[in-house]
Homo-oligomer: A and B are copies of this chain.
């Protein structure tokens, strides 16, 4: 007999099914009975774990945040100690993962959910908290990517975090709405390096 999953893993399972639904059909396509069907669980299961639509959306947003954080922490962590740096930065690899395979439905679901979160709602609060942690992790990644040995100007780090975060989020949105916009990790890497070099160089010259 199949062992009954515990509540936490059941909730994860339902949220993962909801992510797929949201990505494929948008907010209109998301309902408790459809999540039951997609997850292959008995009717009423989703309603048992998430009483209201609001509760389901919140659970979904928290699950998305959990998955995103795991990906981003892997990139922000210390390097492998490999004396030969990899041909493509780990950030470029992470971005590429977010627009291919399992990453794409998650990116689509996140965008759909973010834009339908009413301002100052609990859902918006989850995204807000999440984007603050995102920004902090990006700041770490940016500091690691600067040329070693150079003094780090906090204004440059702030501008560069702002520029790369927005570039990445614009790129994710463009691919989420039009898959033909996808670029290779190598191309993204070259552009990220160009942005970093350009913003770092600006701090070494008088304002133009």
Contacts and interface: CB of A to CB of B under 8 A. Distances in A.
Interface in A115-155: 115-118, 124, 127-128, 131
B112 A194 contact: no
A201 B201 contact: yes
A197 interface: yes
A41 interface: no
- Chain copies in the assembled complex: 2
A80 interface: no
A159 interface: yes
Contacts of A128: 178
Nearest to A178: B128
A201 B194 contact: yes
A194 B199 contact: yes
A3 to B, nearest CB: 39
26 contacts: A28-B116, A114-B177, A115-B176, A115-B177, A124-B177, A127-B177, A128-B178, A159-B190, A162-B183, A166-B166, A166-B174, A167-B167, A169-B170, A169-B173, A169-B174, A170-B170, A170-B173, A191-B199, A193-B198, A193-B202, A193-B208, A194-B199, A195-B195, A195-B199, A197-B202, A198-B199
